Amino acid sequence: MAQTVFERPKSLSDKPFTYCPGCTHGIAHRLIAETLDELDLADRAIGIAPVGCSVLAYEFFNTDMLQAAHGRAPAVATAVKRVHPDAIVFTYQGDGDLASIGTAETVHAATRGENIVVIFINNAIYGMTGGQMAPTSLPGQITQTSPTGRDVETQGYPIRMVEMLSTLDGVALAQRVSLDTPKHVREAKRAIKKAFQNQIDGKGYSIIEVMSTCPTNWGLSGPGAIEWLQENLLPYYPLGVYKDVSTNGDTVVESEV
Amino acid sequence: MSKVYNLLLAGFGGQGVLFAAKLLSYGGLIEGREVSWLPSYGPEMRGGTANCSVVLSEEPIGSPLVLEPDVLLAMNQPSYDKFKDDVVEGGVIIVDQMLVPDVQEREGVRLIKVPATTMAEDNDLKGLANVILTGVIVKESGCLDIKDVEAAIKKSISERKAHLLEPNIRALKLGYEFNDA
Amino acid sequence: MADKVLMKGNEALAEAALRAGCEAFFGYPITPQTELAAYMAKRMPKEGGVYLQAESEIGAINMVYGAAGAGARCMTSTSSPGMSLKSEGISYIAGADLPAVIVNVMRGGPGLGGIQPSQADYWQATRATGHGDFHPIVLAPSTVQEMASSIHEAFELADEYRTPVIVLIDGMLGQMMEPVELPEKKETKKDKPWAVTGHGGKRAQNVINSLNLDTPGLERMNFERFERYEKIKENEQQAETYMTEDADIIIVAFGACARVSRTAVDKAREAGIKVGLIRPITLVPFTSDAIEEVVDQAKAFLTVEMNMGQMVEDVCLVVAGRAPVEFFGHTGGIIPTPNEVLEQVEKLNAEKGGDA
């Protein structure tokens, strides 16, 4: 008799993703949806979609969704959670959204210890607008708006968000994960699940930074993008747990990719 | 149309000009009249003059800004200098004479000089010169029944500060009984 | 009848909002609206609602977007510079068809401007509260009593038409005290089947959204919204008229300027000049009906504003050349005086060959 070994999580809709081939958004979506299924949260989950490639996230998650203005997802999530404390509220944001235009909203939702989950997709580039320099673009990284490579003298340095946020008292969990290998994907799943469990347990603000690819705007193939991520992004953005109130806040950084 | 009272109370921030104006407004409320209380607001209240317009009327109040007062209370010299010429013919200017030493008589306008600060000190009412002067305003203008202003004091002082009730009422009466001889 | 109490406009509005069932307030400190937020901070938690001081005006308005999307009766308040920051969120609220109330206690501008009363944000409120094709409903109370009464109406209009409603007042009304009869507490909980609450497995997914990448779809949404605006225009115009029956000079003024003008009308009438006042209570929809009613009898219109002449353009649009429309105003925090308005009326009366 046939046995189902792989299926679409119930928390994902049957709409085909609009993401480019090789992009890791699809994996990140799936991990969130699996978590919602496993913790039986879909009925009371409310997601906040950002501006960026995942602007259409409300099409893909089967939960109630709000689409927020660029960078404002944490403010929107704050209000939704305060109005409906029993709902499970998560934001899904890219690097331009979370670490540039929405930095104030991000930092203050974190320091208030809002009991929400923030999934932060860091691929070091603006995808939707066609490949401009992001707050997380690496020194020397060539983008449409840093055509000769990001010059730190004039364009400044990349921003490491989970490290920065881990200094705030309101943060329960700040962890960086990656989607480049099956092992890392499994770790990412565990981290995301922990973040949602934190919200269920009322522990407060949890952010999971997910190192992701953008093959289209990096000008690489899918596998090429994975390699570029491993060789360039992961050394600059070390994976690990930067704050976890359940382990007395010890920072655990993975040294090896 | 019955009389509309346009009152302008002015002094330094912290002298209690706004509170005095509030007592008069509350008195008007108790009498079921139309009332407006409009303070000057902003950083200038800390250093310069603070003033407050009060209008008491039987009809709905148009402009709440008192530009031609029937009654001017000046609790410092700059306020007196600034507003003295705005007072209407037949109006009254009340000053704390300890704080406004330089005054001139003006034809058609009564000038009442009250040693309010000294009166307050002599009667163990320190800091209540503003309430003494409120009593003088009521007496000299007839804008309100003094009983209603007394009731306004009771309404304006919270239970937590009940010990302030007696001195405030005493200050009001002292002002109301002040004889400008 | 409830007893009257003496309250500042800002505080009366806040208390009335609570009694109108406001469940969530998000704000940021700015003069001269501060008392409103402070009052909410004190009272809202006791009422079991949400009070939150946001990190910025942008944060606050986006919290309003979130709370409104989640089905709460919610509001924010600010003063002019803060309103500019809120314009992003107001556009999204309009685009997602959410009900919300935004109070602007206006001060002088542009830029940091000043903190004294002004009506310089008339254009912003009526034309440009954000990008895109939309406009909110704009209410302009002129007394503390009306501030208290209009907030309930603002929430009701927001719910009924699913639109942001702006209550536009100035620093004078916000800061002054008048006796006010506070409205009774009303249970006004509306059924909002579109709100995001978690679907509970009982219905399809709800989405709060202003994005529509399908061009005919987006156009349809805009057409539908403007059909609603037409209904608002037909049903919701409000104006107060004062001594307009036989007037040949008509003053048009709102908020604090209407009060000043009312005193000027009384003074002019004493001098035998036939002048009346139209006070728009709704700025959007603009009170064109009230102006249309007197346009044939009017020899001249005069708008009195605390700006360089903004509402005067709306009056011109209605009058459409059938009578001269003049403007008088002050800016920067200066309130026009009744005598100044009277002077303008006398001048117009002499020019237009009035009776007196």
Give residue-wise pLDDT tens across range A119-141. 999 999 999 999 999 999 999 99
- Asked whether the predicted pLDDT for residue A255 surpasses 60, the reply is no
Residues C170 and C61 reside in one and the same domain: yes
Q: What residues pair up with C327 in beta bridges, in sequence order?
A: C303
Q: What homologous superfamily is domain B5-176 in, according to CATH?
A: Pyruvate-ferredoxin oxidoreductase, PFOR, domain III (3.40.920.10)
Highest mean pLDDT among A33-37, B175-179, C113-117 belongs to: A33-37
In the structure encoding, which two tokens stand for residue A4, read together? Answer: 């189902």
C293 located within any domain: yes
Q: Is the pLDDT of residue A257 over 50?
A: no
How many structural domains are present in chain C? 2
* Same domain flag for C213 and C245: no
Domain residues for the domain of C258 are: 239-351
Average pLDDT of A168-183?
A: 97
CB atoms under 10 Å from CB of C203, counted, come to: 10
Ranges of each domain in chain A: 25-253
Q: Residue C128's pLDDT band (boundaries 50, 70, 90)?
A: confident
What are the tens digits of pLDDT across the range C323-346? 999 999 999 989 999 999 999 999
At A247 the pLDDT is 81
Compare all CA atoms of chain B with the CA of C142 and give the residue at the minimum distance: B62
Q: Is the pLDDT of residue C354 over 80?
A: no
Q: How confident is the model at residue B41 (pLDDT cuts 50, 70, 90)?
A: low
**Are C95 and C197 part of one and the same domain?**
yes
Claim to verify: residue C222 and residue C345 sit in the same structural domain? no
Q: Please say if the pLDDT value at position A250 is more than 60.
A: no
Number of CB pairs, chain A paired with chain C, less than 8 A apart: 133
**Spatial CA neighbour of C265 closest among B63, B37, B64:** B63
**Which residues 64-93 of C have a C-beta within 8 angstroms of A?**
64-67, 69-72, 74, 88-89, 92
Cα dihedral C145, C147, C150, C155 sign: negative
* Mean pLDDT score, A94-111: 98
> What is the strand order of the sheet B92-96 is part of?
B110-114, B92-96, B71-74, B5-12, B49-57, B34-39, C177-181, C4-8
- According to DSSP, the β-strands at C177-181 and C4-8 are antiparallel
CA distance C315 to C303: 8
Query: Nearest CB to C266: which of B28, B62, B67?
Result: B62
pTM: 0.93
How confident is the prediction for chain B on average, in pLDDT? 92
Closest to B64 (Cβ–Cβ): which among C6, C179, C259? C259
User: Coil, strand or helix: which one is A31?
Assistant: helix
Question: What confidence tens digit (pLDDT) does each residue in C9-41 have?
Answer: 999 999 999 999 999 999 999 989 999 999 999
Per-chain mean pLDDT for chain C:
95
Listed residues C235, C265, C280: the one ending a domain:
C235
**Residue A83 contacts C where some CB pair is shorter than 8 Å:** yes
Residues C220 and C182 in one domain: yes
Judge if C59 and C97 occupy the same domain. Answer: yes
> Are there at least 3 beta-carbon pairs closer than 8 Å between B and A?
no
Task: Answer for the pair C6, B21: CB distance below 8 angstroms, yes or no.
Answer: no
What's the Cα-to-Cα distance from A7 to each of A22, A45, A47, B36, rounded to whole Å? 20, 21, 22, 71
The pLDDT of residue A46 is: 98
* Residue C356 domain-assigned (yes or no): no
Return the ∠ at Cα A230 (arms to A228 and A231), rounded to 5°.
65
**Lowest mean pLDDT: which of A67-76, A117-126, B58-67?**
B58-67
Whether the CB-CB separation of C265 and C120 falls below 8 Å is answered with no
C226 with C270, same domain?
Answer: no
Nearest residue to B100 (alpha-carbon basis) of B75, B133, B137: B75
pLDDT digits (tens, 9 = 90+) for C79-92: 999 999 999 999 99
User: Parallel, antiparallel, or unpaired for β A64-67 and C207-208?
Assistant: parallel
What string of DSSP letters covers A51-118? SSGGGGHHHHBSSEEEEPPTT-HHHHHHHHHHH-TTSEEEEEEEHHIIIIITHHHHHHHHHTT-S-EE
Tell me the residue ranges of DSSP E strands in chain C. 4-8, 24-27, 50-53, 74-78, 100-106, 137-139, 164-170, 177-181, 207-208, 239-242, 249-252, 275-280, 282-284, 300-305, 325-329
- Give dist(CA B155, CA C234) in Å, integer: 46
The pLDDT of residue B45 is 45
Nearest by Cα to C173 from C329, C306, C284, C10: C10
What is the CATH number assigned to the segment(s) A25-253? 3.40.50.970
Q: A108 to chain C: which residues are within 8 Å by CB?
A: 54-55, 59
Instruction: Give the CATH number for residue C16.
Output: 3.40.50.970
Sign (positive/negative) of CA torsion C249, C254, C260, C262?
positive
Q: Give how far A244 is from chain C: nearest CA, Å.
A: 25
C330: in domain = yes
Residue A51 pLDDT > 90, yes or no?
yes
**Do B29 and C259 count as a contact with CB atoms less than 8 A apart?**
no
ipTM field: 0.91
In a domain, C26, yes or no: yes
pLDDT for C260-280, tens place per residue?
A: 999 999 999 999 999 999 999
Among C70, B78, C271, C245, which residue's Cα sits nearest to residue A82? C70
Mutate to test the interface with C, among A66, A97, A196, A205 (most CBs of C within 10 A): A66
Nearest CA in chain C to A52: C211
Count of helices and strands (H, E) across chain B: 7, 6
Nearest Cα residue to B65 out of B88, B34, B40: B40
Chain B contact partners (≥3 CB pairs within 8 A):
C
* Domain final residue pick, C200, C235, C270: C235
- Same domain for C293 and C323, yes or no, is yes
Q: Considering CB atoms only, which of C175, C179, C263 is closest to B63? A: C263
Mean pLDDT of C54-70: 98
**C70 and C8, same domain (yes or no):** yes
Q: What is the CATH number of the domain that holds C251?
A: 3.40.50.920
Contacts of A151 (CB under 8 A, 6+ apart): A139
